[in-house]
Structure 1
Amino acid sequence: MTEKTQKIRAVINRAGGPIDRPDSLIDAEIPTPAAPIGRDLLVEVRAVSVNPVDVKVRASGNRARKDRILGWNASGTVLAAGDEATLFRPGDEVFYAGSLDRAGSYASQQLVDERIVGAKPANLTHAEAAALPLTAITAWEALFDKLHLTAETAGTLLVLGAAGGVGSILIQLAKALTGVTIIATASRPESRAWVEQLGADVVVDHTDLDVARSILKAAPGGVDFVFTAQSKGRIPLFTKVVRPFGQIVGIDDERDLDFYALKDKAISWHWEFMFARPRHGWNLEAQHDLLTRVSKLIDAGRIRTTLAQTFAPLNATSLREAHALVETGHVAGKVVVAEDA
Structure 2
Amino acid sequence: MKAIGFKTSLPITEKESFIEFEAPVPKAEGHDLLVKIKAISINPVDFKIRQNAAKDTILDTPKVIGWDACGVVEAVGDEVTLFKKGDEVYYAGDINRSGSNAEYQLVDERITGKKPLSLTAAEAAAMPLTVLTAWEILFDRIRISPEKDKGKSLLIIGGAGGMGSIAIQLAKKIAGLTVIATASRPESIQWCKEMGADIVVDHRNLSAAMNAAGFNTVDFILDFVDTSAYWDAMADLIKPQGHIASITGAGTPVALNKLKSKSVSFSWEFMFTRSSFQTDDMQEQHHILNRVADLLDDGVLKHTLTTTLNGLTAGNLKTAHGLQEGGKTIGKTVILL
TM-score for both structures, normalised by structure 1 = 0.94
Tell me what 2:121 maps to. 126
Are 2:64 and 1:39 aligned? no
Tell me what 2:6 maps to. 13
Tell me what 2:287 maps to. 289
Are 2:55 and 1:48 aligned? no
Note if contact 2:10-2:16 (Cα within 8 Å) is conserved in structure 1: no
Distance 1:165 1:9 in 2: 27
Q: How does 1:233-312 map to 2 (within 5 A)?
A: 233-256=229-252, 257-282=254-279, 283-312=281-310
Question: Could you tell me how far 1:284 is from its partner in structure 2?
Answer: 1.3
Are 2:148 and 1:148 aligned? no
Q: Secondary structure at the match of 1:321?
A: helix
Distance 1:196 1:87 in 2: 37
Distance 1:142 1:110 in 2: 27
Are 2:180 and 1:183 aligned? yes
Question: Could you tell me how far 1:287 is from its partner in structure 2?
Answer: 0.3
The code of the aligned residue for 1:244 comes to: P
Question: Could you tell me how far 1:151 is from its partner in structure 2?
Answer: 1.8
Tell me what 1:3 maps to. none
Tell me what 1:223 maps to. 218
Unaligned runs of 5+ in 1: 1-7
Provide the alpha-carbon RMSD of the alignment. Answer: 1.2
TM-score for both structures, normalised by structure 2 = 0.95
Q: How does 1:48-197 map to 2 (within 5 A)?
A: 48-62=40-54, 63-66=57-60, 67-152=62-147, 153=149, 154-197=151-194
Question: Could you tell me how far 1:78 is from its partner in structure 2?
Answer: 0.3
Distance 1:149 1:221 in 2: 21
Structure 1 runs (4+) deviating above 3 angstroms are 216-221
Tell me what 1:335 maps to. 333
- Give CA deviations for 1:198-222 in whole Å, capped at 9, x if unaligned: 0000000011x3x313323545461
Distance 2:48 2:233 in 1: 27
Question: Could you tell me how far 1:22 is from its partner in structure 2?
Answer: 2.2
Q: Secondary structure at the match of 1:213?
A: helix
Question: Could you tell me how far 1:92 is from its partner in structure 2?
Answer: 0.5
Question: Could you tell me how far 1:192 is from its partner in structure 2?
Answer: 0.3
Note if contact 2:203-2:209 (Cα within 8 Å) is conserved in structure 1: no
The code of the aligned residue for 1:334 comes to: K
Note if contact 1:216-1:241 (Cα within 8 Å) is conserved in structure 2: no
Question: Could you tell me how far 1:147 is from its partner in structure 2?
Answer: 1.1
Distance 2:231 2:312 in 1: 41
Mean Cα deviation higher: 179-188 or 253-262: 253-262
**Matched positions, count:** 329
- Give CA deviations for 1:51-110 in whole Å, capped at 9, x if unaligned: 111101111151242311110000000001111111110110000000011100001000
Q: Secondary structure at the match of 1:233?
A: helix
- Give CA deviations for 1:231-283 in whole Å, capped at 9, x if unaligned: 22222212221111110000002132211111121111100000000000012
The code of the aligned residue for 2:175 comes to: T
Note if contact 1:42-1:78 (Cα within 8 Å) is conserved in structure 2: yes
Mean Cα deviation higher: 141-150 or 219-228: 219-228
- Give CA deviations for 1:278-329 in whole Å, capped at 9, x if unaligned: 0000121100000000100000001111111011111211111111111100
Note if contact 1:150-1:177 (Cα within 8 Å) is conserved in structure 2: no
Note if contact 1:140-1:290 (Cα within 8 Å) is conserved in structure 2: yes
Change (3 A) 1:293 1:307: same
Question: Could you tell me how far 1:124 is from its partner in structure 2?
Answer: 0.6
Q: Which residue, out of 16, 21, 35, partners 1:23?
A: 16
Unaligned runs of 5+ in 2: none
Distance 1:206 1:279 in 2: 33
Distance 1:26 1:206 in 2: 37
Say which structure is richer in helix: 2
Distance 1:124 1:187 in 2: 30
Note if contact 2:210-2:216 (Cα within 8 Å) is conserved in structure 1: no
Q: Secondary structure at the match of 1:45?
A: strand
